[in-house]
Amino acid sequence: MTVRVCALIPAAGRGSRLGTDAPKILARLTEQDTIWSVLHAKLAPLVDHIHLVLSPAGAKAFPPLPAGVSTSIQPAPLGMGDAIFGAGAVWSGFDAVLIVWGDQVFVSTATLRRALAALSSPARHAVLPVTRMEQPYVEYLFEGTKLTAVLQNREGDSTSPNGFSDVGTFLLGTAGLTEIWERYLAQARRGSATGEINFLPFLPFLSAQGWTMTPLEVADATEARGINTPEDLAFFQKLYKKDR
């Protein structure tokens, strides 16, 4: 069975916390490379289409799009769930959606390939690449192929040392996904700290609806590091400069 996959990159974040005027996804890692160019190079050979969700300002600043890439706009920063399902009209036309956070520059091609290979059938199935962290900011609790909880420090949850955290990458079958999201919204509580209806707590809800959740362990915890601060940006700029 050939599974058609749309990669979705929620990238409406601004670069203000990084000290740049450009949208975060256009932050430079080297003179030639931005976060976007690196993600595009990794994803384009693996998926059938790439879709970016941008802010209004980000859309204006974005360079011309390569073939096989489309964009839509998230008018207000209402959280990742809003960004993902606001683009549902695009990715629902594919068998699976590969969500990669727009600052997750170091997720490896090997991890992406393994995730896609693990989705033997997209029907009611999700693959969640995870890695052990000394003190995870977000922790995933599994019982076999059931995801029982996602704990988030930013919402006041306590996480466990050496717990599983994500690498900003999630692969889900699309059939029925939007309908289950609507059911989730009808009963979801807003985050106690952010006030947002977040995407991550949707995953245990999805598991409770009978979806198979396949955890895929990633050895290198650096893949979990996003670019959220000037220190993160400097770390990856040094890393990519060293690779040149």
- Full pLDDT tens readout for the chain, 244 residues: 689 999 999 998 776 677 777 789 999 999 999 999 999 999 999 999 999 999 999 999 999 999 999 999 999 888 899 999 999 999 999 999 999 999 999 999 999 999 999 998 889 999 999 999 999 999 999 998 899 999 998 888 889 999 999 999 999 999 999 999 999 988 877 665 566 678 999 999 999 999 999 999 999 999 999 998 999 999 999 998 866 5
Given a contact cutoff of 8 angstroms between Cβ atoms, the answer to whether 138 and 153 are in contact is yes
Amino acid of residue 153: N
For residue 101, the SS3 value is coil
At 196 the pLDDT is 67
Homologous superfamily of 5-125+167-192+218-243: Spore Coat Polysaccharide Biosynthesis Protein SpsA; Chain A (3.90.550.10)
Cα–Cα distance, 116 to 59 (Å, whole number): 29
- C-alpha separations of 180 from 126, 144, 176, 243 in Å: 14, 22, 6, 43
At 236 the pLDDT is 94
Placement of tokens 């096989």 in the chain:
68
At 195 the pLDDT is 62
- 191 DSSP assignment: P
Residues in the chain, total = 244
Residue (of 138, 154, 150, 130) closest to 207 by Cα position: 150
For residue 206, the SS3 value is helix
Please name the helix (run of DSSP H) or strand (run of DSSP E) that holds residue 229, with its range, or none: none
At 244 the pLDDT is 56
At 77 the pLDDT is 80
At 15 the pLDDT is 65
At 7 the pLDDT is 98
At 12 the pLDDT is 87
Sign of the Cα pseudo-torsion (226, 229, 233, 236, in order): negative
Cα–Cα distance, 52 to 32 (Å, whole number): 20
Enter the pTM of the model: 0.94
Given a contact cutoff of 8 angstroms between Cβ atoms, the answer to whether 130 and 216 are in contact is yes
Helices (H), 94-190: 109-118, 177-187
Q: Which two tokens stand for residue 80?
A: 């990742």
At 192 the pLDDT is 58
At 74 the pLDDT is 93
- 85 DSSP assignment: H
